[in-house]
Amino acid sequence: MEELSLHILDLVQNSLRAAATKVEIFIKEDLTRDCFLLEVRDNGRGMPEDFVKEALSPFTTTRTTRRVGLGLSLLDMVARRCGGGVEIDTKLGKGTRVRAVFQHSHWDRAPLGDIKATLVAIIAANPKLSLIYKHRLGGRDFILDTEEIKGILGRDIPLNNMAVLGWLEEYIAQGLAHLYGGEEKDGNPKESG
């Protein structure tokens, strides 16, 4: 069982390989509808429409180093097994949105895993990338926006500065703790809009 954060890492790597400068990760856990939604949007080069179906096939890759691309097809397989699936919206020259849906309570649904480490690793390796992570659970939101943080830091301190990365880790940990904190009381945080 592979953690979903590893799939997120793969999706973001796809976006980066498509020359994206902006990536948005959106997670929505809707316990009322028993739905776990995972979305990655980018402003990369996109795919031709007729390539989309192929992109979900395990034998499709535009990689030159390996002849089999596993990322999207594996995610689709995993999501289908959990009563969902993968949808790809893409426009050449504009960008791509990959959306994966799972039944939240499904026995086979992998946990999100170490999303904090995943985000910090992406930022450390790509300090110039504009990255937004938005995680919604019940009525709560945790949002990390690297542009906002860059604005606070100013031009001279890069996001992959060691002290900044340490702070980011703490910030994400606290944000997630707040997000999941409401869940412990009644198992289903109240929708507050």
Ligand X SMILES: Nc1ncnc2c1ncn2[C@@H]1O[C@H](COP(=O)(O)OP(=O)(O)OP(=O)(O)O)[C@@H](O)[C@H]1O
Which of the choices Mg ion, ligand X, none does residue 146 contact, using the CB cut-off of 5 to 8 A by kind?
A: none
- What gap in Å lies between CA 141 and CA 74, rounded to an integer? 28
CB 7 within 8 A of CB 78: yes
Q: Which of residues 52-71 bind ligand X (CB under 6 A)?
A: 55, 60-63, 69-71
Q: Report in angstroms how near the CB of residue 113 gets to ligand X at its nearest.
A: 17
- What gap in Å lies between CA 176 and CA 151, rounded to an integer? 23
Q: Which of residues 12-31 bind Mg ion (CB under 5 A)?
A: 14
Q: Which of residues 65-124 bind Mg ion (CB under 5 A)?
A: 71
- What gap in Å lies between CA 147 and CA 156, rounded to an integer? 14
Kindly state whether residue 5 participates in binding ligand X, applying the rule CB under 6 A.
no
Q: Report in angstroms how near the CB of residue 131 gets to ligand X at its nearest.
A: 14
CB 149 within 8 A of CB 159: yes
From the list 63-71, 83-91, 150-158, 175-183, the region that binds Mg ion by CB under 5 A is 63-71
Q: Report in angstroms how near the CB of residue 59 gets to ligand X at its nearest.
A: 10
Kindly state whether residue 10 participates in binding ligand X, applying the rule CB under 6 A.
yes
DSSP character string of 53-80:
HHHTSTT----SS-S---HHHHHHHHHH
**Contacting residues toward ligand X, per CB under 6 A:** 10, 14-15, 18, 42, 44-47, 55, 60-63, 69-73, 96
**Contacting residues toward Mg ion, per CB under 5 A:** 10, 14, 71
